Amino acid sequence: MRRLLIVLVIVLFACSAAVSAGRLVIVTVNGVSLDELLDPRQKNINALVGDGAIGVMNARTASGADEEVGRYSMEGACATIGAGTRASAGVDAREAFDAGDSDQQRPVRETYESRSAHDAGNAEVLHLEINSLRFDNADAHYPIKIGELGTLLHQAGLRTAIVGNSDQAAIKHREAALIVADDEGVVDFGDVGRRLSQRDDGWPYSTRTDSGRLISAYREAIRRADVVVVDTGDTSRAASYSLLCTASQAEIFSRRAVASADSIIGALVRELDLSKDRIVVISPSPSPAAVAKGDCLVPVVAAGAGIAPGLLFSHSTRTPGLLTNADISASVLDFFGIALPSSFVGRPLSVRSGSVPDVRQVNHDAIMVTLRQPAMRGISVFMLVMVVLASVGAVWGRGRLRWPAWVALLPTATILGTLWLPAFLDAGLVCSVAALSALTASIVLVGGTVLRSPWKVFVWVCLGVILTVLFDVARGSELLRHSIMSYSPVEGARYYGIGNEHMGSAIGAAMIFAGVLASAMLKRPRLRMVTLGVFLTAVTAAIGLPPLGANAGGAMSAAAAVAVGLILWRGKGVSRKCIPLAIVAIPAALGLLLLFDSFTSGSSQSHVGRAANLIASGGLVEMFGIIERKAAMNLMLLQFSLWSKLLIGSVAAVVALLAIGELGVLSRLRANRSIFYGVVAAGVGAVAAFLFNDSGVVAGATAFIYVWTAVLLASLATK
């Protein structure tokens, strides 16, 4: 009995120690850019940067917010941090109140309890629209639990507080409460009332934060709570007001607001012991002016316990200095030793070596990618025009014209050009488009001059694409990350590895080149199969393995194409076993990826492993939810994406070319069965890429463009 009591005392002491390990303060300075935050005049903020770590953060939220609130908003950002995953929030997000106040001449506590079966108890801050926010996010294709962060903190015995507001005169803006409000809309302590602001006609909306009262309310909150959110207010008002005044006046207001926030932050830090406490300064969303310039990432500074000087790092992005807003949620739980739920998509923050110039470079790269984004749509339009032009030329000339063959090389040459361009150019939209046009034309002209054959140029372009992808993923995907035809850290669908655009291209190019390789090794069948197996396995691994391309859908698509190709290249004909073997290859590839991923820790696990954990915890419901989300994305892209027009146009062109008997396309392709099988395998890869990826329209289009090129060149009897 005595031993049992000793054990209980030790356990209770350990739990108590875990809960009281330190306090965490989150300070919101909304609408502030990296350059504004790092202004040398902000002494307190720069001191935090020197003592701690800095990064820039993706501020995207879920779609579906009402029209008054755009893609980037403090409402959606605070709801997202509170949910641990991208959430949607509109004006309802602003409706937080001091429990003792009145709203529309009715006591807030009474209104709250009339809307919820939950007793407000002694809570000092209540969110009256928590239920409507929950309903607004209920139909998402992934789990969104509004207030999950606050709920988990409460379940761990931790107390939360919110101090401050971003009210604009008579318009309430208390959305910062959503960062720590639980799923019932309850925050234990704090003050979000109007008394924390004061009238000042020299400031936006004639309103400014009463710094003295805010700091006083904070001191009371930090004495009682474990997690405190402080909304400095002035920067948010200045960002919003910039739409109503001249650019010069907006700059004056912004500078004043940041200076006010800097002064407040200095007072907040003085109340902390940074040997055990932590402070995190975030700008939840960018200002409209910053978004207009493509500066859409927002700054984050962290200092205190567990934060060494350097760059903030998250396995969500695998890029030092680049974070996601969901990483903030994960880091709060990690600070207190609370396990992350499966609904959280972020990863806890750590620190990597680096300095302010490094994070400026990360932000600059993101701005350049954003400014070049229109070129992505332009490339799909250009490819579609080339498909139509070359196909019409081939049909109209009945295979006698030569120029359609050279035109047909332009789409795949453009893809190769987008891979090479980042190696020697870092520029905006106009310069990048001009350079890409010149590079694409050079690839075709030089190739044509040296090789004098459209088909040979096409084969070398395929090899160039594959070698570039293999080389680049092995060295960290630098070219892929900065390619015009690739993912964007601002969009936030992917941050590392190979995106669906170049994944589809790599599959199509690999299958065509494998067909040529098989044709060249006809007399040595055993060596041929070994060579093809090694080559295609390397391509599949480069696409799918988490440390490399990290594209699970791409790996499954490549596996399907490789299985079909290898069966055909064996030269023993197609049996009934072929289709089952190709189908089995798909889950086998996924299983190998999961096995590889199982050897990594939870924080560094890829999105494939996280999806598997989600399915393991949620069963078939989660699995079908993932399938539904991917299907919904593809249906949406089929309707609205320009890439769908390219996919449909190239498929229609291939069907037309094959259907015109006079062209003799099929017989010409079958004359070299190895190459024909490569074309078939590329087609299978395109279909699989469309089916197995949530942006499968893009991957399918870039894979099938190689099929179309091979078919068109065959229609012209090119050699």
Q: How confident is the model at residue 547 (pLDDT cuts 50, 70, 90)?
A: confident
Q: Which residues, in sequence order, are bridge partners of residue 330?
A: none
Token pair 């599949």 is at which residue?
540
Averaged pLDDT, 407-413: 96
| Six token digits for residue 138 | 């209920």
SS3 196: helix
C-alpha separations of 601 from 151, 343, 379, 633 in Å: 25, 18, 39, 30
Per the prediction, the chain carries an average pLDDT of 87
| Six token digits for residue 222 | 């930090």
**Helices first, then strands: H and E counts in the chain:** 28, 17
What distance in Å separates the CA atoms of residue 239 and residue 100, rounded to the nearest whole number? 30
The per-residue pLDDT for 629 is 62
Q: What is the DSSP track for 624-675? A: HHHHHHHHHHHHHHHHH-HHHHHHHHHHHHHHHHHH-GGG-HHHHHHTSHHH
Averaged pLDDT, 85-112: 89
The per-residue pLDDT for 65 is 45
Averaged pLDDT, 393-419: 90
CB atoms within 10 A of CB 278: 21
Q: How confident is the model at residue 98 (pLDDT cuts 50, 70, 90)?
A: very high
Token pair 């969901």 is at which residue?
326
**Type of residue numbered 219:** R
What distance in Å separates the CA atoms of residue 184 and residue 174, rounded to the nearest whole number? 16
SS3 452: coil
The per-residue pLDDT for 105 is 77
Q: Are 360 and 312 in contact (CB under 8 A)?
A: no
The pLDDT tens digits for 571-625 are 755 556 666 666 666 666 656 655 555 555 555 555 555 555 554 555 545 555 5
Q: Are 659 and 701 in contact (CB under 8 A)?
A: no
Q: What are phi and psi of 334, to 5 degrees?
A: -65, -35
Token pair 């691994």 is at which residue?
541
Q: Are 186 and 146 in contact (CB under 8 A)?
A: no
What distance in Å separates the CA atoms of residue 239 and residue 37, rounded to the nearest whole number? 14
Helices (H), 63-210: 74-83, 108-115, 130-136, 148-155
The per-residue pLDDT for 115 is 87
The pLDDT tens digits for 34-63 are 999 999 999 999 999 999 999 999 999 986
Check whether 631 has a pLDDT greater than 70. no
The per-residue pLDDT for 609 is 52
The pLDDT tens digits for 481-510 are 999 998 999 988 889 999 999 999 999 999
The per-residue pLDDT for 587 is 65
The per-residue pLDDT for 603 is 52
The sheet that has 125-127: what strands, in order across it?
96-98, 125-127, 186-187
Check whether 6 has a pLDDT greater than 70. no
The pLDDT tens digits for 167-191 are 998 899 999 999 999 999 999 999 9
What percent of the chain stands above pLDDT 70? 86
What distance in Å separates the CA atoms of residue 198 and residue 194, rounded to the nearest whole number? 8
Q: How confident is the model at residue 635 (pLDDT cuts 50, 70, 90)?
A: low
What distance in Å separates the CA atoms of residue 711 and residue 340, rounded to the nearest whole number? 51
Averaged pLDDT, 262-283: 96
Q: How confident is the model at residue 13 (pLDDT cuts 50, 70, 90)?
A: very low
**Type of residue numbered 247:** A
Listed in sequence order, the residues at least 6 apart from 656 whose beta carbon sits closer than 8 Å to its beta carbon are: 391, 395
Listed in sequence order, the residues at least 6 apart from 490 whose beta carbon sits closer than 8 Å to its beta carbon are: 58, 60, 294, 296, 297, 366, 369, 370
The per-residue pLDDT for 594 is 54
Q: How confident is the model at residue 269 (pLDDT cuts 50, 70, 90)?
A: very high
Say which residue, 568 or 625, is predicted with more confidence: 568
Listed in sequence order, the residues at least 6 apart from 323 whose beta carbon sits closer than 8 Å to its beta carbon are: 55, 56, 57, 58, 300, 312, 314, 316, 317, 349
The pLDDT tens digits for 329-356 are 999 999 999 999 988 999 999 999 999 9
CB atoms within 10 A of CB 30: 32
What distance in Å separates the CA atoms of residue 163 and residue 195, rounded to the nearest whole number? 11
**Type of residue numbered 99:** A
What distance in Å separates the CA atoms of residue 105 and residue 293, rounded to the nearest whole number? 44
Check whether 652 has a pLDDT greater than 90. yes
Averaged pLDDT, 703-708: 96
What percent of the chain stands above pLDDT 90? 67
Q: How confident is the model at residue 651 (pLDDT cuts 50, 70, 90)?
A: very high
The per-residue pLDDT for 666 is 84
Listed in sequence order, the residues at least 6 apart from 608 whose beta carbon sits closer than 8 Å to its beta carbon are: 546, 550, 552, 590, 593, 594, 597
Say which residue, 235 or 400, is predicted with more confidence: 235
